[in-house]
Amino acid sequence: MMVIQIVLVLFFLMVILKVLRRFRAGDIKGIEAVGWVFFWLVAVGVVSNPNSTSFLAKILGVGRGVDAVIYLSIALLFFLVFKIFVHLEKIERQITRLTRQDALDRAQKYENPTHHS
């Protein structure tokens, strides 16, 4: 086993622990936890046995299994970043709506000012 493999496997196991802890704390739902644990277990499998991806490479017509994994990872990353972006934008708009409503609620009843002339 290469050093990078050991490091990555340990890292992934740590992430799985984190996922479980988040699940226990109630931060993520059961189905999400299962999904993430599965994802990271697959990652552990791929890293500890890189040849396992060669079937993927064959299906996709990419030279090596590792390449296939990298391509797919990048695509997935882009997709996730995009999703987060859209979500953030939505949150921004919601915060604006809240801020606006609050500002209008706190605004004093308007009276035509006459105190200056």
Partner 1 sequence: MIFIVIPAYNEEQRIGRVIRDLFEHGFSNVVVVDDGSSDNTVKEVVDAGAVVINHLVNRGQGAALQTGNDFVLKNGAEIIVHFDADGQFNVADISCGVKKMQEENLDIIFGSRFLDTRSKVPFFKKYFILPISRIINNHFTKIKLSDVHNGFRIMNRKAAQKIIITQNQMAHNSEIPRLVKEHELKYDELPVEVLYFENGQGVSGGFKILWDLLLAKINK
With respect to partner 1, which residue has the nearer C-beta, 4 or 107?
A: 107
E strands along 8-99, which residues? none
With respect to partner 1, which residue has the nearer C-beta, 30 or 108?
A: 108
The binder of partner 1 chosen from 49, 77, 93, 94 (CB under 8 A): 93
96 lies in the site for partner 1, by CB under 8 A? yes
95 lies in the site for partner 1, by CB under 8 A? yes
Percentages of the chain per state (helix, strand, coil), in multiples of 5: 80, 0, 20
CA-derived radius of gyration, the chain: 25
Q: Which two tokens stand for residue 3?
A: 């050093």
Distances (CA, A) of 6 to 10, 39, 54, 115: 6, 18, 21, 76
The binder of partner 1 chosen from 38, 89, 91, 94 (CB under 8 A): 89
Report the nearest approach of partner 1 to the CB of residue 71 (Å). 23
- Report the C-alpha gap between 13 and 44 in whole angstroms: 8
- Please report, as ranges, the residues that interact with partner 1 according to CB under 8 A: 85-86, 89-90, 92-93, 95-96, 99-100, 102-104, 106-108, 110, 112-116
